[in-house]
Amino acid sequence: MLRILIIDDDVQIRTILRELLGDEGHEVIEASDGIEGIRLYREKSADLVMPKKDGLETIMDLKIEFPEVKIIAISGGGRFEPEPYLQLAEGFGALRLLTKPFKIEQLSKAIRKVLG
């Protein structure tokens, strides 16, 4: 079982991911923003972190403080297409990238690849 930290301000996204990942047997920790997410990671590190769309600063902060942290970045775009955000996230250290909407199989595959 893995401990996965989901950071997203959208409660529905967190709920869906918590249920999907919980069904696969993972322990899920949730944070509504990057500040809370970093605090939770400091208290109880996770095997994997999934920050929200606007999580570039969170990714940078986590990688500076915890260089070994494993991150999957997820984006649906919002005002912009998701590709530029995801490319920046990868440059800052995200190991896998997912574009919303995605299938649970894609998420599971990304988790397996990141955690090997």
In the block, residue with structure tokens 């606007």? 54
Pairing of strands 72-75, 96-99: parallel
Q: 50: how many CB neighbours lie within 10 A of its CB?
A: 28
Angle at 44 between CA 103 and CA 89, to 5 degrees: 45
In the block, residue with structure tokens 């984006």? 75
CB-based contact 73:90 (threshold 8 Å): yes
Mean pLDDT in order along the chain per 10 residues (116 residues): 93 93 95 95 95 83 96 83 90 94 92 91
Domains of the chain: 3-115 (3.40.50.2300)
pLDDT score recorded for residue 54 = 65
Specify the amino acid at residue 115.
L
